Structure 1
Amino acid sequence: MRQDFITNTFLLQNKYAEELYFNYAEKLPIIDYHNHLPPKHIADNTSFENITQLWVAGDHYKWRAMRTLGISEEFITGNASDKEKFKAWINCIPSTVRNPLYHWSHLELKRYFGRSGIVKAEEGELLFDELSAAVQQPNFTCKALLERMNVEVLCTTEDPTDELQDHQKIAASDFNIKVSTAFRPDRFLDINHAHYLQFLEDLSKASGIEISSVTNLKEALKNRLIYFHENGCKLSDHGLNHLPFQSYSDQDIKTIFENRLQHKLVNKTQEEQFKTAMLSFLCELYNEYDFIQQFHLGALRNTNTRMLEKLGPDTGWDSIGDFSQASKMAQFFNNLDCNNKLTKTIIYNNNPKDNPVFATMVGNFNDGSVKGKMQYGSGWWYLDQKDGMTAQINTLSNMGILSCFVGMLTDSRSFMSFPRHEYFRRILCNIFGNDIANGEIPGDIDHIGSIISDICYHNAKNYFNF
């Protein structure tokens, strides 16, 4: 007999946790306010040929695990057939025990395919045929997958040069899930990038503004931000090592940019000056247009140059970075705050040593103007797992106010990643349930349940005002 693994009480360790989850969390809609889903797949309501294309392709979490377990690149991103790639992944699942992939994979198979048993390495071929037949059915199109998970709002992430045609197509359709986007202009801050001048050409083409000065660059970025705003965008997003802060003059920035236009690289101080100036300018725009700004900080990206050259970015060669965060972050936010230009902000960290820094930093700039204006975001990337979520929840509880928290997001490229919201909700309810069982918080289920519901849904709905 096949042993069930994902049971109704998965991760719920006592009756209080169960009551909180089933009565206050389970049935709430999902607001997934940050992900990397391709909007074209939603606009076209894409169907997938087989389970590999839906579940394994593009997932660098799975790819890293497979490489660690000695799977050849041929069966990961190479020329092996989709069935061979799927079988290679299934063969790996039993060995991922205690990695979040083990929980995620079983939870996804349960929620999308009704399979509650433990995955066995030898059933790869049978599973490929069974699941591939299922994904070809109408209830496995991209829109159907989102509807099945009770998604109410999702927000993808696009470059300023994107024309947002797919978002416009979705908005004009009868699809009942709101799909928005986030404005991500990072490449226009990266002045020493080898292709920076090409980036400027791309922006010039999209904005219709010739970029021959910093003033033109700012005009072009504002032009695109307004375009995003007109298409319903309410968020920005930045993925940076750290928030920059270096004093500068307008003449400094003018000279730095003019030198780069002459194909000259700039030194580290000048690079930091330029990033400070341009990011400050953008943040002032976010405040003017009532955007919510997000900062994902602390990832060390593209570390394996050999494999980066072979496969490109976002294929599994990034890790936790050891960057100094506190001082420059405080100065950057303080500069905006002093000028009354600090909009709603969410900061995410990728290094667990920085949990207390981020949790206390938001308190420095919560000024009472908006409930939870400054947010310490959910466990991100390498911290997007049971221990990481628990640590984020506990740190925010100890050093901030957890009841204001806007909750979980997927940050994923997969249409099968939405059970991560369930995973988070179960973990959250279990933490509160254990506190009740231990006598550390009152057993007032209605009161605690309302806090659970706020964190899982209502806080985000009110904060983002989609």
Structure 2
Amino acid sequence: MPAFLDHDFLLDTGIARRLYHEVAAGLPIIDYHSHLQQGEIAERKRFRNITELWLGGDHYKWRLMRSAGVNEQLVTGAASDEDKFRAFCSVLPLAAGNPIHHWSHLELQRLFGIDLTINATNAPRIWQAANSRLAEMDCWSFLDLAKVEIACTTDDPADDLGQHAELANSALKTRVLPAFRPDAAMRCNKPDFPAYLQRLGGVAGVRITDFASLVEALAVRVRFFHAQGGRISDHAIDLALPPGEITPALCEALLSRRLSGAELSEAELGAFQRGLLQALGKVYAQQGWAMCLHIGAQRNNNRRRLNTLGPDTGYDSISDFTTSAGLADLLDALDAEDQLPKTLLFCLNPAMNEVLSTLIGAFQDGATRGKVQFGPAWWFNDHKDGNLRQLQTLAAHGVLGTSVGMVTDSRSFASYPRHEYFRRLLCRQLGQWVEAGEYPDDEEALGQIVRGVSYENAKHYFGL
């Protein structure tokens, strides 16, 4: 029986072990979607202890602790850092099958060289050993240890990217690149939307008075991001995109209503967002960028906790809205003008796996390998079974070997072992197919798939 988290963790065939240890393990990481903060990287942030590193802002772990009955004082409250850490360690053994159990142990081993099982008994020893190691580390240390070649942050169009410029001229081995996240321009019902347009227009040198000038200002910022190394945009699609034609005149009318003080209905907001995506898709295509669409989050379900703790604190879930017709029409409208950019469709609802993995095949043009991608298992799907389902579904309906692979989607500098986790599962799946006689034991072909999905495809696809 395999030991917990041993050398061959998740690798259940000889083929899988060969592929992982000889091909995947040594490859660098391209993390094309994360929520790392450029300022923290520029200042070479140090962590006062493992609680700040592990539990500071990590809503994955916060959800787990609350579900296990940990009082909020020990999650986000005023309890001491050591007490919070001990509380986490005491309940983690209950989370069998949860990826956080695997990730946390991988992080201890890979980043700190600590092989102890995380539990209440070992918590004091882990606390002391990890903190001793952290005293000699800063956030650059984690990037170096994980061999992160490229890390993309998530940045507002109005950001001056000054710290990205600092990093580009620093001694950091990892290239830290901006990614364009115009959510504030998309969510026009937000109370601060008019003020945001003033800020955006100011940095773009464009007076935003209508839809056309909004698109113009965003296009100016896309070109600015491009000059700073940006090649990727990122959009949250949290409501259904409507099917049918979305004209510039409709978008002008909707924005005019909003700027006059009215609030758009959900259907109108969906139409506005789809119209803005169509306009920006053309800008991305002209720059050779990739457009990432993160589809299916239902955010801030708990109003009481939103009011006390704010957003992104662990109260989101999977949405079950249907978006396939509107999404197809968005891609078709861009393709009809030969303006469809490289596009990644991230799916939060696993019920949409087949929907999106078949939709991508309708918009491949042969010019770019895997031009429209079914993105990796994301957020609530990022666990062992979710990753395997994503790989299997893409393989069944598309070409697995063209996938651009995994992302951390994380705010934590300790999260890079998730790439190892994904690579082990990729090798596991390929090994099982070979062992079952469903794929030949072709060392060259298997190695090409593993190298491509783990590293090379992302490098070529994004032009990095």
Q: Which residue type is aligned with residue 56 of structure 2?
A: A
- Residue 135 of structure 1 deviates from its aligned partner by 0.3
Q: Which residue type is aligned with residue 29 of structure 2?
A: I
CA distance in 2: counterparts of 1:253 and 1:463, whole angstroms = 31
5 Å matches for 1:308-327? 308-327=306-325
* Contact kept in structure 1, 2:244 and 2:329, CA below 8 Å: no
* Contact kept in structure 1, 2:114 and 2:126, CA below 8 Å: no
2:172 is aligned, of 175, 185, 209, to 175
5 Å matches for 1:181-220? 181-220=178-217
Q: Which residue type is aligned with residue 223 of structure 2?
A: I
Using the TM superposition, name which of 203-212 and 30-39 deviates more.
203-212
* Contact kept in structure 2, 1:4 and 1:118, CA below 8 Å: no
CA distance in 2: counterparts of 1:286 and 1:319, whole angstroms = 30
Match of 1:337 in 2: 335
* Contact kept in structure 2, 1:286 and 1:292, CA below 8 Å: yes
Q: Deviations over 1:106-159 (max 9, x none)?
A: 11111011222322222223322221121011xx21111101111111111111
- Residue 246 of structure 1 deviates from its aligned partner by 4.8
Distance 1:150 1:199, change over 3 A: same
Residue 448 (str. 1) matches residue 442 (str. 2): no
* Contact kept in structure 1, 2:75 and 2:84, CA below 8 Å: yes
Match of 1:228 in 2: 225
CA distance in 1: counterparts of 2:442 and 2:268, whole angstroms = 56
Using the TM superposition, name which of 204-213 and 155-164 deviates more.
204-213
2:147 is aligned, of 144, 150, 161, to 150
Residue 163 (str. 1) matches residue 139 (str. 2): no
Distance 1:249 1:444, change over 3 A: closer
Match of 2:277 in 1: 279
* Contact kept in structure 1, 2:42 and 2:163, CA below 8 Å: yes
Q: Deviations over 1:190-249 (max 9, x none)?
A: 222232222223313332333222232222212211211111110000011244545344
2:408 is aligned, of 407, 410, 414, to 410
* Contact kept in structure 1, 2:241 and 2:271, CA below 8 Å: no
Count of residues in Structure 1 that have an aligned counterpart in Structure 2: 462
5 Å matches for 1:67-82? 67-82=66-81
* Contact kept in structure 2, 1:55 and 1:414, CA below 8 Å: yes
Distance 1:245 1:199, change over 3 A: farther
* Contact kept in structure 1, 2:116 and 2:122, CA below 8 Å: no
Match of 1:105 in 2: 104
* Contact kept in structure 2, 1:7 and 1:116, CA below 8 Å: no
Q: Which residue type is aligned with residue 85 of structure 2?
A: F
* Contact kept in structure 2, 1:36 and 1:412, CA below 8 Å: yes
* Contact kept in structure 2, 1:406 and 1:455, CA below 8 Å: yes
TM-score, length basis structure 1: 0.96
CA distance in 2: counterparts of 1:80 and 1:148, whole angstroms = 31
Distance 1:270 1:243, change over 3 A: closer
Match of 1:433 in 2: 431
- Residue 330 of structure 1 deviates from its aligned partner by 0.9
Match of 1:61 in 2: 60
Q: Which residue type is aligned with residue 225 of structure 1?
A: V
CA distance in 1: counterparts of 2:211 and 2:336, whole angstroms = 24
1:357 is aligned, of 355, 372, 391, to 355
CA distance in 2: counterparts of 1:391 and 1:133, whole angstroms = 39
Match of 1:419 in 2: 417
RMSD across aligned positions (CA): 1.5
* Contact kept in structure 2, 1:372 and 1:405, CA below 8 Å: yes
* Contact kept in structure 2, 1:6 and 1:110, CA below 8 Å: no
Q: Deviations over 1:252-274 (max 9, x none)?
A: 33232222222111234432332
Q: Which residue type is aligned with residue 438 of structure 2?
A: E
Residue 306 (str. 1) matches residue 304 (str. 2): yes
Q: What is the SS of the residue equivalent to 2:122?
A: helix
Using the TM superposition, name which of 43-52 and 313-322 deviates more.
43-52
Q: Which residue type is aligned with residue 54 of structure 1?
A: L
Distance 1:145 1:190, change over 3 A: same
5 Å matches for 1:1-16? 5-16=4-15
Q: Deviations over 1:409-441 (max 9, x none)?
A: 111110010000100011111111111112221
Q: What is the SS of the residue equivalent to 1:183?
A: coil
Match of 1:255 in 2: 253
Match of 1:120 in 2: 119
Q: What is the SS of the residue equivalent to 1:157?
A: coil
* Contact kept in structure 1, 2:110 and 2:417, CA below 8 Å: yes
Residue 388 (str. 1) matches residue 386 (str. 2): yes
- Residue 104 of structure 1 deviates from its aligned partner by 0.7
* Contact kept in structure 2, 1:247 and 1:273, CA below 8 Å: no
* Contact kept in structure 1, 2:39 and 2:163, CA below 8 Å: yes
CA distance in 1: counterparts of 2:454 and 2:379, whole angstroms = 19
* Contact kept in structure 2, 1:38 and 1:413, CA below 8 Å: yes
Match of 1:289 in 2: 287
TM-score, length basis structure 2: 0.96
* Contact kept in structure 2, 1:167 and 1:180, CA below 8 Å: yes
* Contact kept in structure 1, 2:234 and 2:293, CA below 8 Å: yes
Q: Deviations over 1:146-198 (max 9, x none)?
A: 01111111111111111111111100112221110110112212222232222
CA distance in 2: counterparts of 1:464 and 1:215, whole angstroms = 28
Distance 1:253 1:438, change over 3 A: closer
* Contact kept in structure 2, 1:246 and 1:276, CA below 8 Å: no
- Residue 83 of structure 1 deviates from its aligned partner by 1.0
* Contact kept in structure 2, 1:45 and 1:142, CA below 8 Å: yes
CA distance in 2: counterparts of 1:101 and 1:268, whole angstroms = 35
CA distance in 2: counterparts of 1:374 and 1:348, whole angstroms = 11
CA distance in 1: counterparts of 2:208 and 2:244, whole angstroms = 24
CA distance in 2: counterparts of 1:250 and 1:82, whole angstroms = 53
Q: What is the SS of the residue equivalent to 1:121?
A: coil
Q: What is the SS of the residue equivalent to 1:184?
A: coil
